[in-house]
Amino acid sequence: MKNELFYKGSFGIERETLRVDKNGRLVQTPHPFTDSAITRDFCENQIELVTPVSSSVSGAVSELERLDRTVREKISQNGESLWLYSNPPYISSESEIPIAQFSGDDSKKTAYRMLLQKRYGKRLMLFSGVHFNFSFSDEYLHTICDTDDFDSFKNSFYLRLYKQACMHSWLVLLLTASSPVYDKSLDSDGEKGGIRSEYSSLRSSRRGYWNSFVPVLDCTDIGTFTSSIQSYVDSGKLFSEGELYLPVRLKPKGENRLENFKNGVSHIELRMFDLDPKQPLGVNEKDLEFAHLLLMYLSTLPDFDYTEKLQRNAVKNHQTAALSNLIGAEIDGMGIIKKAEQLIHAMMWFYNDDEQALELLEYERCKLYHRPCMAIHTKDIYQNIKEGDTNVRASRVFRKRLHRYTQTASGFLLSL
């Protein structure tokens, strides 16, 4: 029987979505909220919801639902709605992508976004997704601490978990990728119409949200870890630590700044979730529960030397999992589906006395053969019209299609 404290922790969700008008075009109105939990990401019309810390995944989802309801009620008064899909709607040009305007002490955030625009262009910044934040309870960590220096133990614990999560991030992406189609205007001005890409998740693919180089970090300890990030900032390869575009991050206590790691690690963040257009909130609660189980399992695996080769391979594996066609796709020399089966079976053995966990793992295992991205079609997201640029909002389309789905014994949604 596992330590009951093992399951306890703190959970949080960050969700990005674009505001659109009744025709599915990006709105040009100012951000209408002052609540710090309802903020902006890169652009003025991109809302980011940040839930308060909860004691469970379901609690975090409930908080997301509360914030989502507040947003929808407010913006609907202006005829606006949320584009519940990771890839953006039709855009005529980058002039439709206004950089988020912050004022006062926060004006530096606007200046930072202007730097990102010059380096990456505005289009890349329109990708939206979901970030899952988790920390184990200190009460649990105290029960496994094998040293008198708890703070040092905790930092080492999360650094080891970070390395394992980076090595296995591809599995979460494989099971949750949900953005295989996009509008051709994302490629260049003058283009129009939805098409299917070669990727299951455009934002996590080779053409997605990455630095122009693979950041290689020194994971010996938390000091060398933060110093190696700082070295990229000092050299100009990164404008700040926030520009480190990897699927997994460690966050310090307090404001997310490198110097705050002196106060210790606060939590780990998984950043690879697409918005799921089949879900009213864009979030599949079961997928977040799976992420929790995975992080728990990975936390028990032994430490290892996270070499430059392994770090580069972890990025390669993650991008491989973003492919739509997995024929010939391999993870560490093994077929990607077989490798995923192997890992999920290892987790089933680990949770063999937890029926709820086993049911959830079987649900995810079945998704290897009925991947969410394969149930998303171009016409579900983008309506190609000869005259005009009207888009079809993914959330509205899938709500209309819900009656066409039923649950199998495995719990996966299959079209009738």
Query: 30-44, 97-111, 130-144 — which is least confidently predicted?
Result: 97-111
Is the residue at 1 inside a domain? no
Is the residue at 219 inside a domain? yes
Q: Residue 387: is its pLDDT beyond 80?
A: no
Positive or negative: CA dihedral 298, 301, 303, 309: negative
Positive or negative: CA dihedral 315, 321, 327, 333: positive
Report the C-alpha gap between 237 and 129 in whole angstroms. 24
| Stretch (H or E) spanning 12 | strand 9-20
List, in sequence order, every residue forming a beta bridge with 323; answer none if it has no partner. 199
Q: Residue 298: is its pLDDT beyond 60?
A: yes
Report the C-alpha gap between 266 and 252 in whole angstroms. 5
Decide the pairing of beta strands 129-136 and 265-274: antiparallel
What average pLDDT does the chain have?
91
pLDDT at position 409: 28
List, in sequence order, every residue forming a beta bridge with 195; answer none if it has no partner. 182
Query: What percent of the chain has pLDDT above 70?
Result: 92
Is the residue at 2 inside a domain? no
Is the residue at 394 inside a domain? yes
Measuring CA to CA, which residue among 57, 56, 58, 67 is closest to residue 15?
67
CATH number at residue 398: 3.30.590.20
Query: 190-194, 200-204, 295-299, 339-343 — which is least confidently predicted?
Result: 190-194
Q: What is the mean pLDDT of residues 26-51?
A: 96
Look up residue 376 and give its two tokens.
Answer: 């998303």
Domains in the chain, number? 1
pLDDT at position 308: 98
Q: Residue 14: is its pLDDT beyond 70?
A: yes
Q: Residue 60: is its pLDDT beyond 80?
A: yes
Is the residue at 76 inside a domain? yes
pLDDT at position 384: 54
Report the C-alpha gap between 305 and 216 in whole angstroms. 13
Is the residue at 4 inside a domain? no
Q: Residue 43: is its pLDDT beyond 80?
A: yes
Q: Residue 164: is its pLDDT beyond 80?
A: yes
pLDDT at position 216: 98
Decide the pairing of beta strands 330-331 and 405-407: unpaired
The secondary structure of residue 201, as a DSSP letter, is: B
Report the C-alpha gap between 24 and 22 in whole angstroms. 6
What distance lies between CA 290 and its chain's CA centroid?
14
pLDDT at position 414: 28
Q: How confident is the model at residue 327 (pLDDT cuts 50, 70, 90)?
A: very high
Is the residue at 17 inside a domain? yes
Q: How confident is the model at residue 386 (pLDDT cuts 50, 70, 90)?
A: very low
Q: What is the mean pLDDT of residues 370-378?
A: 95
Q: 234-281, pLDDT tens digit by residue?
A: 999 999 999 999 999 999 998 889 999 999 999 999 999 999 999 999
Give the structural domain span for 299. 10-415
Is the residue at 337 inside a domain? yes
266, 155 Cβ separation under 8 angstroms: no
pLDDT at position 286: 98
Exposure string over 334-357, b if 16+ CB within 10 A, otherwise e: eebeebbeebbeebeebbeebeeb
pLDDT at position 326: 97
Task: Name the residue with higher pLDDT: 250 or 389.
Answer: 250
Q: What is the mean pLDDT of residues 126-144?
A: 97
Positive or negative: CA dihedral 116, 117, 120, 126: positive
